[in-house]
Amino acid sequence: MELFVLLLTIFVLAVFVGFEVITKVPPTLHTPLMSGSNAISGITVVGALIAAGSGQTILVSILGFIAVVFAMVNVVGGFMVTHRMLAMFRRKG
Amino acid sequence: MDLDPNLRNVLYLAAAVLFMFGIKGLTHPRTAVRGNMLGALGMLTAIVVTLIDKQMLGWGWIIGGLALGSGVGAYVAIKIQMTGMPQLVALYNGFGGIASALVAGAVLHGWIHGAADDGLSIFELIENGGQSPTQAVVATMASGLIGGITFSGSVLAFAKLQQLISGNPITNPLLKIANGLCTIGAIGVAIMLFMHPEQVGWYWALVVLSLFVGVFLVLPIGGADMPVVITLLNSYSGIAAAATGFVLNNTVLIIAGSLVGASGLILTKVMCVAMNRSLTNVLFGVMAEVGVGPSSDEIYAGKVKAASPDEVAMLFDTARKVLIVPGYGMAAAQAQHVVRDLANLLESRGVEVEYGIHPVAGRMPGHMNVLLAEADVPYDQLKEMDEVNATMEQVDVALVIGANDTVNPSAQEDPTSPIAGMPIIDVGKARTVVVVKRSLSPGFAGIPNPLFAANNTLMMFGDGKKAVLELIAALKAG
C-alpha cells in the first residue's frame, strides 16, 4: 500500500474514534475538553523540534525555534490550565 | 542517536493511545484529572522520542524554545481568571495554528536547501525520501492555509473577547469584496505553489493571504456568537496539525490532530444547536429577520411585578425545590460565591437546590460549569437544560440570575422572533419565577422578554451580588 493511503486510513479512523469518544464527554466538562484538546493540538511541537534541530540552514532553525515556542505555550499552558479547572470539580459533601 | 524507525513509530503510537485515554478520562469529572495527566504524559512521550530519535544539531534553539514556550504557557495558565478562559483558549488555538504553518514553511525551506545541495529537483528529493511529492506539497499548502486562518482569526477573536476592540459584528460590503479577493488570491497562489514549490515565496504569500482571510472570517461575527468561533478555530488548529503530519509523514501528528479536529467540530455543532442557528448563518453574521414584534412597552406595561428581598425570602421559606438558572451576567457581577452561599443556606433548611445550565450560558461550551465549580458548587448539582425542563413542574421557585435570552419564552411561542426555535430553560412552568436583574433592558438578542411580565414572575431589581446578599440577610432574619 502506498504510504499516503496508509496515512489517510489512519487519519479517517482517528476521526471516527475521536467522534465516538468525544460525544461521550458531558457538557459540564466541555471547557476542559477544549483547553485539553487544545494542548493536544500542540503536538505540532514534534515537527517544530525536528525543524529546529535539523541544522539545515539558519532560517530553518529560526522558523523551527519560533514554532517550538508557540507550540510549547499551547502544550504547557493547555495542560496546566485544564488541570487547574478539573481540580475544581468536586462532588457534594 | 537514531532510533529504529519501527520502534519510533510504536512509541508515537503509544503517545497517540495516551491521548485517546486522556480524552476518554474527560467523560466523567471523577476520572478527568487523571485523563488530563495521561494526555500530558502522551505529549511528553512524543517530545522525548523526537529528541532522542533525530540527530539533533541546534540544541541551543531547541532548549531555548522549549524553555521559553513552557515558561510563558505556565505563567499564563496560573494567572488567568476563569472568566477569561474563552480568550485564553482562543489565543492558544491561534498559537497551535501558526506553529503548524511555521513548521510546514521550515520543512519546505529544508527541502529546497537539500535539493539545491544534491543538485536534484525538489520533487526528486521528496520522492527519494520515500514520500509522494504531491502529498507533501498539498499538505504543505493545507498547513499554511489553515494555520494562517486559525492564527489571525483566533487573535481577532481574542481581541474581541478581551474587549481590546469592539465585540460588535463589523459588516461592510467592502469587507465582503476584500474577503472574496483574498480568497481568490489564496487559491491562485496555492496553484502557483503547487507548480513551483521550489519558489518558497509562494508559500509565504499563501500564509499572508490566509491571515487576511482569517481576519475577514471573524470580523462580521458578534460577541454572542463567539463560542461558535472558538470551537470552530479549535477544530482548525487540530486540522492544521494533522496536515503538518502529512507533510512530515508523522502518524502521531495525524492522529492527535484529527482528534482535536473532531472535538472542535462536535462542540461547534452543540453550540449551533443550542442557538438554533446554522453554521453558515453564524459565519456570515446573519441574524434572522427581526419581525415587527411587540415592543417592550406593550409587553411590560402594567404587568411587571417588583418584589423586595423580604417578599422573595418568604417564598423561599415555603419552597421545597429551588432551581437556580445562572447566566453570564451572574459571573460578570462576581455573584457566583454568594449564590452558592444562598444555595447552602437553603439546603441546610431542607430545600432541594439544583442549577439549570443552558449550553450557551457562558462564553464558551461548559464555561458556566467551570465558573460554578470554581465557587465550590458540587458538579452533581449542575443539571443540563433537558434534564431540568423535564421536571420543571415540580420546582417551587426558579431563581433566574443574570440570564435573559436563554429563558425567553418568545423563542418557543413567537415564530417571528429573532430567536425563534432556540431551546430555552422553560422556567415559566415553575410555580414561581424570581428574576434578579438590574433593569428590564434586553439581552444579546435585543428583544423584550415576556417572562418578566408573566403572572408567576417576580422581578427583584438590583445588582446581582447585592440582591442575593440582601436575600440571604432576609432569609436569616425571617
What's the CATH code of the domain at B394? 3.40.50.1220
User: B398 by DSSP, 3-state: which?
Assistant: strand
**B231-269 confidence digits (pLDDT tens):** 999 999 999 999 999 999 999 999 999 999 999 999 999
The CA-based dihedral angle spanning residues B460, B465, B466, B468, taken in that order and rounded to the nearest 10 degrees: 60
Predicted local distance difference test score (pLDDT) of residue B425: 96
Q: Are residues B106 and B234 in the same domain?
A: yes
Continuous segment of H or E residues that includes residue B38: helix B29-53
Higher pLDDT pick, B207 / B217: B207
B310 is catalytic: no
Closest CA to B249 of B123, B126, B149: B126
Q: How far is A4 from chain B (nearest CA, A)?
A: 7
Predicted local distance difference test score (pLDDT) of residue A73: 97
The structure's pTM equals: 0.92
B-contacting residues of A 3-42, CB under 8 Å?
Answer: 3-4, 7, 10-11, 14-15, 17-19, 21-42
Q: Are residues B359 and B471 in the same domain?
A: yes
- Whether B451 is in a domain gets the answer yes
Q: ∠ CA(B374), CA(B378), CA(B383), 5° rounding? A: 105
**B71-121 confidence digits (pLDDT tens):** 999 999 999 999 999 999 999 999 999 999 999 999 999 999 999 988 888
Q: Are residues B469 and B356 in the same domain?
A: yes
Predicted local distance difference test score (pLDDT) of residue B297: 77
- Contact state of B365 with A82 under an 8 Å Cβ cutoff: no
- pLDDT of residue B182 exceeding 70, the answer is yes
Average pLDDT over residues B191-203: 94
The CA distance from B234 to A37, in Å, is 8
Last residue of a domain, one of B254, B283, B312: B283
- Whether B464 is in a domain gets the answer yes
The CA distance from A72 to B30, in Å, is 28
User: How many residues in total does chain A contain?
Assistant: 93
Most confident listed range (B122-136, B337-351, B432-446): B337-351
Q: Are residues B207 and B111 in the same domain?
A: yes
Residues B344-382 as b/e (b if ≥16 CB within 10 A, e otherwise) read ebbeeeebebbbbbbbbbbbbbbbbbbbbbbbebbbebb
Mean residue pLDDT across chain B: 91
Q: How far is B270 from chain A (nearest CA, A)?
A: 9
Query: At CB < 8 A and 24+ separation, what contacts does B57-64 make?
Result: B57/A53, B57/A54, B57/A55, B58/A52, B58/A53, B58/A54, B58/A55, B58/A61, B58/A64, B58/A65, B59/A53, B61/A52, B61/A53, B61/A61, B61/A62, B61/A64, B61/A65, B61/A68, B62/A49, B62/A52, B62/A53, B62/A65, B62/A68, B64/A65
The CA distance from B162 to B166, in Å, is 9
Residue B314: CA count within 13 A, CB half-sphere: 5
Determine which of A29, A37, A63 to mutate to test the interface with B (most B C-beta atoms within 10 Å).
Answer: A37
- Whether B67 is in a domain gets the answer no
Q: Are residues B259 and B318 in the same domain?
A: no
Written as nine digits, the cell of B143 is 498547513
Question: What's phi and psi for B170, nearest 5 deg?
Answer: -110, 105
The CA distance from B403 to B425, in Å, is 10
B95 contacts in A (CB within 8 Å)? 42, 70-71, 73-74
End-to-end CA separation in angstroms for chain A: 57
Q: Are residues B265 and B346 in the same domain?
A: no
Predicted local distance difference test score (pLDDT) of residue A62: 94
- Contact state of A72 with B68 under an 8 Å Cβ cutoff: yes
User: B449 by DSSP, 3-state: which?
Assistant: coil
**Cell numbers 459584528: residue:** B169
Written as nine digits, the cell of B473 is 440577610
Q: Are residues B253 and B301 in the same domain?
A: no
- pLDDT of residue B371 exceeding 70, the answer is yes
Lowest average pLDDT, out of B14-28, B247-261, B277-291, goes to B277-291
Q: Are residues B255 and B397 in the same domain?
A: no
- Whether B311 is in a domain gets the answer yes
- Contact state of A81 with B80 under an 8 Å Cβ cutoff: yes
Task: Please say whether the beta carbons of B234 and B264 come within 8 A.
Answer: yes
Closest CA to B236 of B215, B258, B261: B261
The CA-atom distances, in angstroms, between A26 and each of A11, A29, B59, B257 are: 25, 6, 42, 21
The residues, ordered by sequence, that sit 6+ positions from B364 with a Cβ below 8 Å of its Cβ are A30, A31, A34, B85, B86, B89, B226, B227, B230, B231
Q: Are residues B272 and B308 in the same domain?
A: no
Predicted local distance difference test score (pLDDT) of residue B165: 87
Residue B387, strand partner residues:
none
- Contact state of A53 with B54 under an 8 Å Cβ cutoff: yes
Residue B399, strand partner residues:
B324, B434
Predicted local distance difference test score (pLDDT) of residue B281: 78
Task: Please say whether the beta carbons of B409 and B450 come within 8 A.
Answer: yes
Which residue among B225, B380, B405, B463 is the active-site one? B405
Determine which of A11, A24, A40 to mutate to test the interface with B (most B C-beta atoms within 10 Å).
Answer: A40
Q: Are residues B137 and B223 in the same domain?
A: yes
Last residue of a domain, one of B252, B283, B314: B283
The CA distance from B63 to B73, in Å, is 15
Task: Please say whether the beta carbons of B259 and B20 come within 8 A.
Answer: yes
Predicted local distance difference test score (pLDDT) of residue A1: 55
Q: Are residues B269 and B305 in the same domain?
A: no
Predicted local distance difference test score (pLDDT) of residue B292: 54
pLDDT confidence band for B287 (50 / 70 / 90): low
Q: Which domain holds residue B273?
A: 80-283
**A29-85 confidence digits (pLDDT tens):** 999 999 999 999 999 999 999 999 888 899 999 999 999 999 999 999 999 999 999
- Contact state of B263 with A3 under an 8 Å Cβ cutoff: no
* Dmax (CA) of chain A: 60
- Whether B13 is in a domain gets the answer no
Last residue of a domain, one of B260, B283, B306: B283
User: Based on C-alpha coordinates, what's the Rg of chain A?
Assistant: 18
Written as nine digits, the cell of B330 is 451572574
- Whether B146 is in a domain gets the answer yes
Angle between the N-to-C axes of helices B251-275 and A3-22, in degrees from 0 to 180, rounded to the nearest 10: 40
Other CB atoms closer than 10 Å to residue B174's CB: what's the count? 7
User: How many residues in total does chain B contain?
Assistant: 478
Predicted local distance difference test score (pLDDT) of residue B169: 79
The CA distance from B114 to B128, in Å, is 12
- Whether B87 is in a domain gets the answer yes
How many structural domains compose chain B?
A: 2
B39 contacts in A (CB within 8 Å)? 36, 39-40, 79
- Whether B342 is in a domain gets the answer yes
Predicted local distance difference test score (pLDDT) of residue A93: 61
The residues, ordered by sequence, that sit 6+ positions from B415 with a Cβ below 8 Å of its Cβ are none
The beta-carbon neighbor of B253 closest among A3, A21, A44 is A44
Q: Side chain identity at B249, as an amino acid letter?
A: N
Q: Are residues B265 and B123 in the same domain?
A: yes
